[in-house]
Structures are given as structure tokens and as C-alpha cells.
């Protein structure tokens, strides 16, 4: 054990501390005995990007990749267990073993991480992407790291050799839930693809101490618990306390005259915090590349509380410290309607200021001239959360580098690109001017000046059109003076993109219409994608094996190759195997839900899944009306249960803690599930499950088992959706509206392999324009009336009408997202689903075609789009 390999000993510098003052990376002598070849006789495989040797030497140092053998892995693992955790195997807990395994895998990644950083530093300096996102919904790391390093089999065997079941260790990992939903998960898929393409990039965000809350149900209602994801140790992050960056807030701005006689502005902040750097590895898929995700944590500065300590007020000093460290304490659990909370703005500025400073001061060489920034960086703004970075860069150029306004603005305008993820006007972030002035006075000043110039330009372009000027202004006057972050982003960005074809069109026509008229060339679309590594290869090993056995292996990094499966849709033998995969995945989720939640799913059912954040526009309420209709048909004797396609509906959804209607919907889904599942009249034909705390880990088990994917948002409201892509790629058919990426999924898979229903976006607009009255639909449609009446009667809520009155009242008198208007079409489409499911062979055919034709939705393709049309950075590095 004592002669175990110690790859970390080899590392003489921080892999991502790129500024080395010219000193080459130096390494001590290798103690691993590793060679530049893999020792298991396999060649390194590279499925994308140019080939290089991950085990190449660093400067004058030796080869550092640990050998890929079971024996070496066992030694490294035991070394981590003994000297990392300080326990012998015989006395180690599952958590000790998990941490040791994670650190062992991490040490294998280290060599690639160093090599990636070295190459980027020593090769001709290339432009980088700085991906700025307040959220990364990463999911568990262990399996992804094993897959990337091709160590899955070796690690499994090594654990067997140690008498350990690797699956138990997998379960031990608490997923980093540093995101709310689609936006955060997209960021996680994108960094995976950037690494897999070898795109020169670094991702920045916040290391929240508490991620998205843990959802529990008490009396059918959602109760939130804090997500202490770090409490068992976080083996994937590498902290660099010496590399912290100060971030300041508050204070005032004054004018002074510089040495050159020019008047300048000086910001004297009132307080500040330190941003502590945590690096996470982002391994590319079997290509030797490891990129960096840099997450910041807030730490109180000494000066922040020193004077309080000195004054002898210990409690006050501790309170002040807590105040500072609160900045990275918790992820805001909001979806679609951001709250204008001061702490939220602090978080945004905190991570963006730290990231920009880090990039200029630590990633660029010491003699770097900020005038060259546009050649070296493009910051991608993941929604408006990092948009405060625009005035921050201006401030740095003006106040710290003494550039003139025009020059600073010309540089800044080339350094940002903005992705919009919403169509709901209320979801566009605005910040009260009063708050901005208090928290970031210099930035507010800069925003005023940007707006002044912009408005002047508008008045020149549209003389006399004051209404337009007011609509477009970065500063809104009503209902309170505030900064429209989406406008600021659009004014300062090289490109603005929506996240699906329809969304990008609606962005131009509606949300940012005035801007697209002014700058049509600035607007573009990049349809979202998902990583096939996590969402096919890891989550659906059986389907992956079937695909590899059929078309060979390269599809994981080249998802267009799934097209080669098209012909197999007509192959009875393949269809049979495909069905066997689905059956296997259904058994797997049954086992998972029994042990996770004590939920016993029935067998042999159509598995109908609706998983996403709970929001009215996504219309979980419409799904609920469908379930109640099916139930009503069964208990009223309208249908003979034996003729009904048995169906299990699984929901997964968290509601923002302050979103009352969403929480009422959760309560009702749980109440309906309880009633339906216990009513003997249902005769086992309908089952509703709502496992709590839907997260990435559960998604990975649930999605591959689904037959039917519910994508039923009101047309024109879901920007893209990415769950829809995951389901299609895992062989589920979609029932969906003409919304978001559903549109492109349907175009690709073909109308005959998609259950389309509901109004189109123009039809929605027309109905709303003429005045929508949900009550009329209730009056007109007896089936709908029965469903709503059954809910309203208290049938599902132990006789309580009060418990459902707000839900029913809202549907009948408000129904902002037109669930009742789409109900009849939805039920009709669901009846078609049942009929289609009756023909299992044809269903498989349709499902196979969904898999074969949706390779387009790989996030590798999305990232290639960003690179080609927005970023213009190199790949294969
Ligand atoms: C989602 N937005 C879109 N926002 O709703 C979805 O259609 C799209 O597929 C996805 O982005 C990726 O483009 C989303 O998830 C949030 O969660 C924000 C969190 C912070 C508050 C505002 C909403």
C-alpha cells in the first residue's frame, strides 16, 4: 500500500493558474512508473477533434498519466483510502470508500487537466469562451468521470477486488444541484460538449453551499428542506485559497483629476468580500481534454470585520462575517419569475466580477493589453443573470486601465454574446435603479451613460418616435425606475440568440422586436441540445449497447450517426430487441422507485411521464385534467376497464417555494394519485406516481423507461425544453404542442411519429386578443365539466372543497395559459396514443424512428453552432 502511485505528487503547479511568470511547468520524477502508452494494450481513442497524446510530456517533465490497470487502480484507491481518508479498508465506511474512489478517478483526470492547460498556454494564444452562468445543474460526477477516462470497467473490477459493490458507492454521491431546471442543466450539457469538442473555454459560476432545495411531501403538500450537498465532503472541487479575488459593493463615486490632467471617476466601495476559487474538472469524452468549471464562494475579508472585532463586539463581527458569506450560501429557487432581491443582485455581481477579474489578471499573461481582449475572449451570458458583467468590464477599462469611453465601449461590445431563455415578459430581469445605486453606484453611472448614447442613437434613427425610444430604453420609468437587463445585454452583445427556432422567431417578433428591427443581423438561433454522454450512454446502457452493436461505437461523440438506425425500424428482430431494452428500463425504474420512495409501479403499463419544473405555462394542470377524465371514465362505467390501455403517469416537479398556484397543483396531483391508486373500480388500469425531489439522478433512470413524453406547454411559452429531446433520444414518443423545440422534434421525426395537439402560437394570440373565457369551454364540453366538477366536489381531497377552490377558481375564471381551450384536443390526442400503443410493433417502429432522427439534439451540435456563428474559437485544443 505504501508504494501506491501518487499522481498528485507530480503536480508542481495549479493546472489552471495559467500565469506562471514564464516558468515552465516543472514536475518531480514520476513515481508511477507510467508510460506514454496505455498499459492495458489499448490505444487512446479520440472520437472528435484532432488527435493528440494525452500522456505527452510536460515541458521537461516525465509522463504523468497513471496506468490503466486494475492493479494500479486498486493501489491508488487504497492509497486514497489510507492517506486521504485515514482509514484502513476493513474499517472504512461507504462514504470513505466513495470519497477515495472519487479522488482516485480525479487523480487520473489530473494529468489530462494539466496537459490541457499547458497546451492552451504554450500553443499560440487562442481566443477563449468564458461561459458565464449563475446555474449549473450538474448531476452526479463519478460515472461521467469514469466514462470520460474509460475507467468504468477497471474501477468496477478494482472495487470487486476490494470486496466493494461499486453501485453502493455510486448511490453515496449527492448530486450538485446548483441549478433550478432547464437553464442550469443546459449549462451543464454545454460544458460537457465544449470539453468534448476541445473548445478553448472556461466556465464560471457560483459554488452555492445549498443547491436547489430537497423536496418532500407532507400531507400531499410540498415541504422544502435545505440541500446540504457538501455535508459529506465534496471530492470534485479543488480549492485555491491563494487565488482569491476581491469583489466590492456599495459606497460612492467621486470625480478626481488624474496625473494627465484628465477628469476621472473614482469608486470608493463601502464593503467587499473575497471570491474563493473552486476548480472543477470538466472532462471531454475520451479525448484527453479536461476543461475547467470555476465556481466562486464568498468569504468575508479581514478588513470587513476587523474594526468590529477591535471594537470588542464579537457577536457583531461574526454577524457581519455571515452577512458577507451569505452571498454564495443558497441558490434562489425561482423559476421564470425572478424576484428583485438584493442578495440575488449581489450574487450576480459577485460571480461576474470575480470571473472577469480572474480572466484578465490570472488567465491572460502579465503583460496583457486589455485592448486585445476581443481577440482573447468572448463571454457568453447565460440569460440576464451575468449581464452586470457589461458595466463591470466598462468600469475596469475606464477606471483601472484609463481607456477613453469610446474605446472602452468598442472593446466591451465585442466581448459579450447573450442567450435569452424565456418568452414570458415577466421573466425578463429588471433591477430597481435605487437598488443599483446603493449596491453598485459606479455601474449605475455607467449604465446611465450607455443608455444616454443609445437613446441618442435611437432618436437619430427614429426621429419623433418617442414611444419607441421609451420602449427600447435600458432604463424603464414604470412602475418604478429600473434597469432592463435584457435591453442592456442586447445593446452590448455581438449576438443575441434564442434557444429553439420558434423561440428565436418570437424573440424577434415579440420580446425584442424593436431591437431586431434596428439590428436584424444581431439576432440568431441556436437550438438547444443535450449531452449524449449523460443522457444516453450513461443513463441508458442497454439502448447504448444495442445501438453500438448495430451501427458501431462512434455515435456517442457524433450523434448524427443515429440516422443509420432508420432502416432498422423495419427490422422485426431489432424492434424486438428495442422493446426488450424498454422493458429492462421499466424494471429498473420500478426497483429504483421502490427503494427510493416505497412506490410500487404496476407492470405492463404504458409509462407516461411529465417531468419538469412546476409552472402554470407548462400546464401540469392539463395533464391532471386528463388523468381525472381517464379516472372518471373508469369509475362511471363509461368504459369497460378491460378494454382500456393500462397507464401509469409519473410526475416529477419542484415548485418555487413562493409560488402558491404551483404548490396547489402539487397538492392536487398527490391527492388525485392517492385517490386513483386506491380506488378498486380503477381495476389496476390507471396509476399515478409522484416521487418527490425530482433531480438529474432520477431523470437518468426515469427517462429511459418512458413510453410517452409530455410536452404540453401553451404554444409560444416554452422557449425550447430539453427534456423533450432526452425522451425522444431514449425512445419515448412525444405528445406535445407546437411549442419550443417540439416543433423541430416533430419536423425531424415526422408527423406520423409525434402526437401533436393544441393551438398554434398565432391561434393563441388570436384567442387572447378576442378575449378568452375559460368558462365557455367548461359549459360546452361535458367531459371537461365532469372532470372539473369531480375535482371541485372534493372527491380527491377527502370531501374538502376548500382545499381545491383556488385551483378550480383559477381554471374557470382565469386560466392564463389556456388549459381549458386545449383540453378537448389533448384528450383526443391521448386517445390516439392509447390506440397506437395497442399495436406494440408499430409503436416500437415509431420509437426507433424517434431515436434515429433526433441526433440533431446533441449539445455537441449546439456548441458547434455557437462556435461557428457566435464565438469563432478554435476546437481540438
Ligand atoms: C429554461 N429556462 C426554459 N429558467 O424555460 C426552457 O424552455 C429552456 O429549454 C431552458 O431554459 C434552456 O434553454 C429556465 O430554466 C430558469 O430556470 C430561470 C432561473 C432563474 C430565475 C428565472 C428563471
pLDDT tens track for 403-427? 999 999 999 999 999 999 999 988 8
Q: What is the pLDDT of residue 125?
A: 79
In the numeric block, the cell 381525472 is attached to 628
* Catalytic hit among 106, 487, 577, 613: 613
Is residue 722 flagged as an active site residue? yes
Q: What is the pLDDT of residue 304?
A: 57
Are 144 and 105 a contacting pair, CB within 8 Å?
Answer: no
Burial class (CB in 10 A: 0-12, 13-18, 19+), 563: middle
Which among 39, 56, 129 is positioned nearest to 379, based on CA atoms? 129
Mean pLDDT of the chain: 91
For the CA atoms of 825, 826, 827, 828, the dihedral, rounded to the nearest 10 degrees, stands at 50
Handedness of CA 709, 656, 759, 746 (dihedral sign): negative
As separate numbers, helices (DSSP H) first and strands (DSSP E) second, the chain gives 33, 24
Atom of ligand 1 at shortest range from CA of 718: 7
Which among 143, 45, 152 is positioned nearest to 536, based on CA atoms? 143
> Rounded distance, CA 798 to CA 243, Å?
59
**SS3 for 419?**
strand
Provide the percentage of residues in the chain whose pLDDT is more than 90. Answer: 85
Q: Which three cell numbers stand for residue 259?
A: 496625473
Q: Which three cell numbers stand for residue 493?
A: 452583445
Burial class (CB in 10 A: 0-12, 13-18, 19+), 666: buried
Residue 160: Cβ within 10 Å count? 13
* Catalytic hit among 665, 722, 854, 875: 722
**SS3 for 720?**
coil
Q: What is the pLDDT of residue 217?
A: 98
> Rounded distance, CA 859 to CA 190, Å?
6
Q: Which three cell numbers stand for residue 444?
A: 449605475
Q: Is 529 in the pocket of ligand 1 (CB under 6 A)?
A: no
Is residue 726 flagged as an active site residue? yes
* Catalytic hit among 612, 619, 647, 685: 612
Reported as a pLDDT band with limits 50, 70 and 90, residue 467 is very high
Please tell me the distance between residue 483's alpha carbon and the centre of ligand 1 in angstroms: 21
Do β-strands 475-476 and 482-484 pair in parallel, antiparallel, or remain unpaired?
A: antiparallel
Q: What is the pLDDT of residue 869?
A: 98
Are 373 and 411 a contacting pair, CB within 8 Å?
Answer: yes
Q: Is 335 in the pocket of ligand 1 (CB under 6 A)?
A: yes
Q: What is the pLDDT of residue 322?
A: 83
Distances from the Cα of 235 to the Cαs of 75, 813, 841, in angstroms?
18, 52, 46
Q: What is the pLDDT of residue 242?
A: 86
Are 715 and 739 a contacting pair, CB within 8 Å?
Answer: yes
Are 837 and 165 a contacting pair, CB within 8 Å?
Answer: no
Q: What is the pLDDT of residue 65?
A: 65
Q: Tell me the average pLDDT across 611-622.
A: 98
**SS3 for 788?**
helix
Atom of ligand 1 at shortest range from CA of 741: 9
Q: Is 429 in the pocket of ligand 1 (CB under 6 A)?
A: no
> Rounded distance, CA 67 to CA 5, Å?
9
Is residue 577 flagged as an active site residue? no
Is residue 612 flagged as an active site residue? yes
Query: Could you report the per-residue pLDDT of 498-531, keeping only the tens digit for each?
Result: 999 999 999 999 999 999 999 999 999 999 999 9
Q: What is the pLDDT of residue 319?
A: 77
Within 13 Å, how many C-alpha atoms sit on residue 543's CB side? 35
Q: Is 664 in the pocket of ligand 1 (CB under 6 A)?
A: no
Is residue 626 flagged as an active site residue? no
Is residue 75 flagged as an active site residue? no
- HEC string of 782-839 equals HHHHHHHHHHHCCCCCCCCCHHHHHHHHHHHHCCCCCHHHHHHHHHHHHHHHHHHHHC
Q: Tell me the average pLDDT across 207-228.
A: 98
Q: Which three cell numbers stand for residue 149?
A: 477516462
List strands edge to edge, sheet with 430-432.
430-432, 482-484, 475-476
Q: Using the predicted structure, report yes or no on whether residue 3 has a pLDDT greater than 80.
A: no
> Atom 2 (ligand 1): residue with closest C-alpha?
183
**SS3 for 712?**
coil
Q: What is the pLDDT of residue 335?
A: 60
Please tell me the distance between residue 422's alpha carbon and the centre of ligand 1 in angstroms: 7
* Catalytic hit among 618, 685, 795, 861: 618
Q: Is 719 in the pocket of ligand 1 (CB under 6 A)?
A: yes
Are 542 and 585 a contacting pair, CB within 8 Å?
Answer: yes
Handedness of CA 430, 434, 436, 441 (dihedral sign): positive
Burial class (CB in 10 A: 0-12, 13-18, 19+), 421: buried
Q: Which three cell numbers stand for residue 589?
A: 425504474
Are 198 and 875 a contacting pair, CB within 8 Å?
Answer: yes
CA angle 147–153–159, rounded 5-degree value: 115
> Rounded distance, CA 214 to CA 223, Å?
8
Query: Could you report the per-residue pLDDT of 261-307, keeping only the tens digit for each?
Result: 999 999 999 999 999 999 999 999 999 999 999 999 999 987 655 56
Amino acid at each position: 500500500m505504501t508504494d501506491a502511485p501518487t499522481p498528485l505528487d507530480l503536480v508542481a503547479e495549479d493546472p489552471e493558474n495559467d500565469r506562471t511568470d514564464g516558468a515552465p511547468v516543472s514536475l518531480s520524477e514520476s513515481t508511477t512508473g507510467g508510460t506514454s502508452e496505455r498499459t492495458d494494450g489499448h490505444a487512446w481513442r479520440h472520437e472528435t477533434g484532432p488527435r493528440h497524446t494525452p500522456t505527452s510530456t510536460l515541458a521537461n517533465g516525465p509522463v504523468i498519466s497513471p496506468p490503466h490497470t486494475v492493479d494500479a487502480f486498486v493501489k491508488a484507491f487504497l492509497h486514497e483510502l489510507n492517506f486521504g481518508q485515514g482509514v484502513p479498508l476493513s474499517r472504512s465506511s461507504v462514504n470513505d470508500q466513495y470519497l477515495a474512489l472519487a479522488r482516485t478517478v480525479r487523480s487520473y483526470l489530473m494529468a489530462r487537466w494539466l496537459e490541457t492547460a499547458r497546451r492552451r498556454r504554450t500553443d499560440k494564444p487562442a481566443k477563449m469562451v468564458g461561459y458565464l452562468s449563475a446555474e449549473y445543474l450538474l448531476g452526479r460526477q463519478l460515472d461521467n468521470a469514469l466514462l470520460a477516462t474509460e475507467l468504468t470497467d477497471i474501477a468496477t473490477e478494482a472495487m470487486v477486488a476490494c470486496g466493494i459493490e461499486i453501485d453502493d458507492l455510486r448511490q453515496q454521491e449527492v448530486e450538485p444541484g446548483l441549478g433550478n431546471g432547464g437553464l442550469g442543466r443546459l449549462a451543464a450539457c454545454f460544458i460537457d460538449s465544449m470539453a468534448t469538442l476541445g473548445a478553448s473555454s472556461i466556465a464560471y459560476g457560483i459554488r452555492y453551499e445549498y443547491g436547489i432545495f430537497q423536496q418532500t411531501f407532507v400531507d400531499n403538500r410540498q415541504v422544502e428542506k435545505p440541500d446540504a450537498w457538501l455535508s459529506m465532503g465534496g471530492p470534485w472541487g479543488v480549492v485555491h485559497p491563494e487565488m482569491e479575488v476581491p469583489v466590492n459593493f456599495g459606497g460612492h463615486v467621486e470625480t478626481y483629476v488624474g496625473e494627465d490632467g484628465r477628469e476621472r471617476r473614482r469608486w470608493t466601495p463601502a464593503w467587499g468580500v473575497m471570491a474563493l476559487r473552486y476548480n472543477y474538472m470538466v472532462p471531454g469524452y475520451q479525448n484527453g481534454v479536461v476543461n475547467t468549471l470555476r465556481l466562486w464562494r464568498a468569504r468575508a475579508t479581514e478588513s470587513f470585520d476587523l474594526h468590529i472585532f477591535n471594537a470588542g463586539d464579537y457577536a457583531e463581527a461574526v454577524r457581519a462575517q455571515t452577512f458577507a458569506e451569505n452571498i454564495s450560501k443558497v441558490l434562489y429557487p425561482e423559476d421564470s419569475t425572478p424576484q428583485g432581491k438584493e442578495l440575488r443582485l449581489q450574487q450576480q455581481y459577485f460571480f461576474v466580477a470575480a470571473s472577469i477579474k480572474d480572466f484578465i489578471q490570472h488567465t491572460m499573461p502579465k503583460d496583457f493589453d486589455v485592448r486585445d481582449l476581443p481577440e482573447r475572449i468572448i463571454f457568453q451570458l447565460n440569460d440576464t443573470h451575468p449581464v452586470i458583467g457589461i458595466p463591470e468590464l466598462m468600469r475596469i477599462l475606464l477606471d483601472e486601465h484609463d481607456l477613453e469611453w469610446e474605446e472602452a465601449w468598442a472593446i466591451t461590445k465585442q466581448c459579450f454574446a447573450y442567450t435569452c431563455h424565456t418568452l414570458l415578459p415577466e421573466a425578463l430581469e429588471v433591477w430597481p435603479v435605487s437598488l443599483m445605486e446603493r449596491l453598485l453606484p459606479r455601474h449605475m453611472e455607467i449604465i446611465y451613460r450607455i443608455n444616454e448614447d443609445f437613446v441618442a442613437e435611437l432618436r437619430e434613427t427614429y426621429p419623433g418616435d418617442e414611444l419607441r425610444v421609451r420602449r427600447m430604453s435600458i432604463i424603464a420609468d414604470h412602475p418604478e425606475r429600473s434597469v432592463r437587463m435584457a435591453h442592456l445585454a442586447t445593446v452590448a452583445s455581438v449576438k443575441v440568440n434564442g434557444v429553439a427556432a420558434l423561440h428565436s422567431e418570437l424573440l424577434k417578433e415579440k420580446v425584442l422586436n424593436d431591437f431586431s428591427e434596428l439590428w436584424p443581423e444581431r439576432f440568431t438561433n441556436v437550438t438547444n441540445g443535450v449531452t449524449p454522454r449523460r443522457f444516453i450512454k450513461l443513463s441508458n446502457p442497454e439502448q447504448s449497447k444495442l445501438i453500438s452493436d448495430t451501427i458501431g461505437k462512434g455515435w456517442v461523440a457524433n450523434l448524427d450517426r443515429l440516422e443509420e438506425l432508420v432502416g432498422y425500424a423495419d427490422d422485426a428482430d431489432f424492434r424486438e430487441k428495442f422493446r426488450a431494452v424498454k422493458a429492462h428500463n421499466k424494471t429498473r425504474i420500478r426497483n429504483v422507485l421502490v427503494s427510493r420512495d416505497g412506490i410500487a409501479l404496476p407492470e405492463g403499463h404504458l409509462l407516461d411521464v411529465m417531468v419538469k419544473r412546476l409552472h402554470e405555462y407548462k400546464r401540469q394542470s392539463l395533464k391532471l385534467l386528463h388523468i381525472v377524465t381517464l379516472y372518471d371514465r373508469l369509475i362511471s362505467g363509461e368504459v369497460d376497464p378491460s378494454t382500456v390501455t393500462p397507464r401509469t403517469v409519473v410526475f416529477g416537479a419542484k415548485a418555487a417555494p413562493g409560488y402558491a398556484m404551483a404548490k396547489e397543483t402539487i397538492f392536487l396531483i398527490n391527492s388525485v394519485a392517492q385517490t386513483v391508486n386506491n380506488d378498486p373500480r380503477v381495476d389496476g388500469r390507471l396509476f399515478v406516481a409522484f416521487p418527490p425531489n425530482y433531480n438529474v439522478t432520477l431523470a437518468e433512470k426515469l427517462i429511459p423507461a418512458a413510453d410517452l413524453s409530455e410536452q404540453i406547454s401553451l404554444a409560444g411559452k416554452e422557449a425550447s425544453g430539453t427534456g423533450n429531446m432526452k425522451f425522444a433520444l431514449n425512445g419515448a414518443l412525444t405528445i406535445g404542442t407546437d411549442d419550443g423545440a417540439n416543433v423541430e422534434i416533430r419536423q425531424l421525426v415526422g408527423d406520423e411519429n409525434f402526437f401533436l395537439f393544441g393551438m398554434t402560437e398565432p391561434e393563441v394570440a388570436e384567442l387572447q386578443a378576442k378575449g378568452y373565457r375559460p368558462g365557455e369551454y367548461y359549459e360546452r364540453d361535458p367531459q371537461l365539466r365532469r372532470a372539473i366538477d369531480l375535482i371541485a366536489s372534493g372527491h380527491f381531497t377527502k370531501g374538502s372543497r376548500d382545499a381545491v377552490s383556488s385551483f378550480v377558481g383559477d381554471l374557470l375564471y382565469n386560466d392564463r395559459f389556456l388549459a381549458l381551450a386545449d383540453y378537448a384536443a389533448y384528450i383526443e390526442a391521448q386517445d390516439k396514443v392509447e390506440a397506437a400503443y395497442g399495436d406494440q410493433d408499430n409503436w416500437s417502429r415509431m420509437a426507433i424512428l424517434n431515436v434515429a432522427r433526433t441526433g440533431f439534439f446533441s449539445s455537441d451540435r449546439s456548441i458547434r453552432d455557437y462556435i461557428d456563428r457566435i464565438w469563432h474559437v478554435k476546437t481540438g485544443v
